[in-house]
Amino acid sequence: MSSPSRVDLLLDLADDELILGWRNSEWTGIAPFLEEDVAFSSIAQNEIGHARALYELAARELGTDADSVAFDRPVAEYRSAPLVELRRLEWARTIARHWLYETADAIRLETLKSSDDAELAGITAKIDREEVYHRIHAEMWVDRLLGSDEGRPRLEEALDELWPYALGVLDDELRPELVTRVEAKLGRPLPDADAVPRGEHETELAELLEEMTSVRRSAPAGARW
Minimum Å gap between C-beta 7 and another protein is: 16
Helix (H, G, I), strand (E, B) or coil at 222: coil
CA distance 21 to 50: 10
Q: Between 66 and 167, whose beta carbon lies closer to another protein?
A: 66
Do 103 and 168 touch, CB atoms closer than 8 A?
Answer: no
Minimum Å gap between C-beta 46 and another protein is: 5
Q: Between 53 and 186, whose beta carbon lies closer to another protein?
A: 53
Minimum Å gap between C-beta 149 and another protein is: 23
Minimum Å gap between C-beta 25 and another protein is: 11
Type of residue numbered 7: V
DSSP secondary-structure letter at 117? Answer: -
Minimum Å gap between C-beta 132 and another protein is: 4
Q: 71: how many CB neighbours lie within 10 A of its CB?
A: 15
Q: Between 126 and 216, whose beta carbon lies closer to another protein?
A: 126
Q: Between 58 and 167, whose beta carbon lies closer to another protein?
A: 58
* Distant-in-sequence, close-in-space partners of 104: CB < 8 Å, separation ≥ 6: 166, 169, 170, 174, 178
Half-sphere exposure of 190 (CA within 13 A, CB side): 27
Q: Between 18 and 195, whose beta carbon lies closer to another protein?
A: 18
> Residues in the site for another protein, rule: CB under 8 A?
35, 38-39, 41-43, 45-50, 52-53, 56-57, 118-119, 121-123, 125-127, 129-130, 132-133, 136-137, 139-140
φ and ψ at residue 14, rounded to 5 degrees: -65, -45
CA distance 145 to 111: 30
Minimum Å gap between C-beta 221 and another protein is: 21
Q: Between 103 and 163, whose beta carbon lies closer to another protein?
A: 103
* Distant-in-sequence, close-in-space partners of 114: CB < 8 Å, separation ≥ 6: 121
